[in-house]
C-alpha cells in the first residue's frame, strides 16, 4: 500500500518533474490533483486492473455515444455545480432572482428569433397533443420590466425527444429565441412536452442500471434568459403533476421552478390565441439579477450544438 505522500511524490515525478516544455499551471494543478485522488481511490478500494480498464472503456463508449453531458446530468455533477454557484452568490450577498437550474445536454444555438411571440411547434403533433401557451414577464429583482430581454426556450415533444438530436423532427422544432416586447413580455405557442428518458440501450442508462437508478425526467421547459446589464439565467420549469417531478434523474427540479399547466376551455380565450381547441396555459415570469463583478460570470463555456 502506498500512502498519500508516496502517491503525490510519484505523480510529481511522472507528470511535473518530467516537464521540458511550457506548462499550463492550471491544467497541471488539476491533473496532479485528480491523478493523486485516483491513485488514492485505487489503493483504498483495491481497484483491479480489469476494473480500471472497464472504467476507461466506459468513458470511451460514453464519449463516442456523445453521452458525457447526459452522464454529468445523471450523476448530479451538473446540479452540484448549481449548488456551488448558489453558495458563491450567497457569500457575495446576491439575493433574489429566479433560481438557476441545470442547462442539460440538449441546447442548440442558432434557432429562429422573434420579438414578443413565437410559435415553436411545427404542427406535426397537433392532432393528438394539447397546445400549450407559455407567457411571462421578464423583470429585474425590483419588478421593473425588461424589454428586449432574450428568452431562449427549448423542450421535448410528446415522446420526450428533442429536435436536432432526434432527426425525425423538423429543424428548430420546439426551439425558439423570443425577445421580450416593450412590456417585458414573451408569449410562446407550443405543444405540451413529455418528460425525457435516457436512451435505454445507452451508456448513461447502463451505469444508472448498475446503480439501481432510473433515467427519467419530469416534463419540463428549458430557458436561457439574458439582457445587457444582467446576469445570464440558465433555468427550467418542471410541470406540476408529473410523477417524476421530485424524482428527476438529473436533480433539476427546485422550489420556485414548478409551473402549473391550467386547462383553458373558454371560447373567447381559445379565440384570443387563434387556437381552435381547449389548450393548456402556463404563466412563467423571470427575475434577472444585475451584473456584478463580485462573483464569476454565469456564462458557462461548453461545447454546444449549433444549427
Q: Which residues bind ligand MBD (CB under 6 A)?
A: 70, 73, 102, 104-106, 196, 217, 250, 252
Chain position carrying cell 436536432: 164
Cell of 103: 442547462
Instruction: Report how far apart, in Å, the C-alpha atoms of 278 and of each of 102, 124, 273, 283 are.
Output: 32, 18, 11, 16
Cell of 161: 425527444
From the CB of 250, what's the least distance to ligand MBD, in Å?
4
Length of the chain equals: 307
Q: Which is nearer to ligand MBD, 243 or 272 (CB)?
A: 243
Cell of 133: 401557451
Q: What's CA 226's distance to the chain center, in Å?
A: 15
Q: Which option in Fe ion, ligand MBD, none does residue 250 bind, with CB closer than 5 to 8 A by kind?
A: ligand MBD
Q: Which option in ligand MBD, Fe ion, none does residue 132 bind, with CB closer than 5 to 8 A by kind?
A: none
Q: Which option in Fe ion, ligand MBD, none does residue 72 bind, with CB closer than 5 to 8 A by kind?
A: none
Q: Which is nearer to ligand MBD, 252 or 288 (CB)?
A: 252
| Cβ atoms of residues 222 and 155 within 8 Å | yes
Q: Which is nearer to ligand MBD, 70 or 151 (CB)?
A: 70
Q: Which residues, 6 or more positions from 58, have their beta carbon under 8 angstroms from its beta carbon?
A: 203, 207
Q: Which option in Fe ion, ligand MBD, none does residue 70 bind, with CB closer than 5 to 8 A by kind?
A: ligand MBD
242 phi, psi to nearest 5 deg? -75, 140
DSSP H or E run through 155: strand 150-155
| Cβ atoms of residues 232 and 296 within 8 Å | no
Q: Which option in ligand MBD, Fe ion, none does residue 258 bind, with CB closer than 5 to 8 A by kind?
A: none
How many separate helices (H) and strands (E) can be counted in the chain? 7, 14
From the CB of 204, what's the least distance to ligand MBD, in Å?
8
Q: Which is nearer to ligand MBD, 102 or 207 (CB)?
A: 102
Q: List interacting residues with Fe ion (CB under 5 A).
A: 104
Cell of 134: 407559455
Q: Which residue is nearest to ligand MBD (CB)?
A: 104
From the CB of 242, what's the least distance to ligand MBD, in Å?
13
Q: Which is nearer to Fe ion, 88 or 300 (CB)?
A: 300
Question: Which residues make beta-bridge pairs with 279?
Answer: 264
From the CB of 153, what's the least distance to ligand MBD, in Å?
13
Angle, vertex CA 12, rays to CA 9 and CA 15, nearest 5: 145
From the CB of 35, what's the least distance to ligand MBD, in Å?
29
Q: Which is nearer to Fe ion, 53 or 165 (CB)?
A: 165
Q: Which residue is nearest to Fe ion (CB)?
A: 104
Q: Which is nearer to Fe ion, 106 or 146 (CB)?
A: 106
From the CB of 182, what's the least distance to ligand MBD, in Å?
32
From the CB of 141, what's the least distance to ligand MBD, in Å?
26
From the CB of 296, what's the least distance to ligand MBD, in Å?
22
How far apart, in whole angstroms, are the C-alpha atoms of residue 276 and residue 130?
A: 11
Give the torsion sign (CA, 203, 74, 241, 106). Answer: negative
Q: Which is nearer to ligand MBD, 11 or 102 (CB)?
A: 102
Amino acid at each position: 500500500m502506498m500512502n498519500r505522500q508516496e502517491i503525490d511524490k510519484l505523480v510529481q515525478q511522472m507528470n511535473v518533474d518530467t516537464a521540458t516544455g511550457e506548462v499550463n499551471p492550471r491544467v497541471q494543478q488539476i491533473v496532479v490533483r485528480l491523478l493523486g485522488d485516483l491513485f488514492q481511490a485505487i489503493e483504498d478500494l483495491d481497484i483491479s486492473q480489469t476494473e480500471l480498464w472497464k472504467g476507461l472503456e466506459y468513458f470511451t463508449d460514453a464519449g463516442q455515444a456523445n453521452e458525457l453531458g447526459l452522464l454529468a446530468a445523471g450523476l448530479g455533477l451538473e446540479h452540484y455545480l448549481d449548488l456551488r454557484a448558489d453558495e458563491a452568490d450567497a457569500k457575495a450577498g446576491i439575493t433574489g432572482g429566479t433560481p438557476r437550474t441545470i442547462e442539460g445536454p440538449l441546447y442548440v444555438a442558432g434557432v429562429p428569433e422573434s420579438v414578443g411571440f413565437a410559435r415553436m411547434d411545427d404542427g406535426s403533433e397537433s392532432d393528438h397533443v394539447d397546445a400549450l401557451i407559455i407567457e411571462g414577464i421578464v423583470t429585474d429583482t425590483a419588478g421593473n420590466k425588461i424589454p428586449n430581454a432574450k428568452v431562449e426556450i427549448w423542450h421535448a415533444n410528446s415522446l420526450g425527444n428533442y429536435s436536432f438530436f432526434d432527426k425525425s423532427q423538423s429543424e428548430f422544432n420546439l426551439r425558439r429565441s423570443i425577445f421580450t416586447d416593450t412590456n417585458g413580455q414573451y408569449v410562446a405557442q407550443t405543444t405540451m412536452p413529455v418528460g425525457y428518458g435516457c436512451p435505454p440501450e445507452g451508456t448513461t442508462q447502463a451505469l444508472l442500471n448498475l446503480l439501481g437508478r432510473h433515467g427519467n425526467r419530469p416534463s419540463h421547459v428549458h430557458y436561457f434568459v439574458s439582457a445587457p446589464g444582467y446576469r445570464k439565467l440558465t433555468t427550467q420549469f418542471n410541470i406540476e403533476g408529473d410523477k417524476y417531478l421530485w424524482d428527476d434523474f438529473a436533480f433539476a427540479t427546485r422550489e420556485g421552478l414548478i409551473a402549473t399547466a391550467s386547462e383553458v376551455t373558454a371560447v373567447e380565450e381559445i379565440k384570443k390565441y387563434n387556437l381552435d381547441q381547449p389548450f393548456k396555459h402556463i404563466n412563467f415570469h423571470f427575475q434577472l439579477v444585475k451584473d456584478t463583478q463580485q462573483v464569476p460570470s454565469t456564462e458557462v463555456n461548453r461545447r454546444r450544438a449549433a444549427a
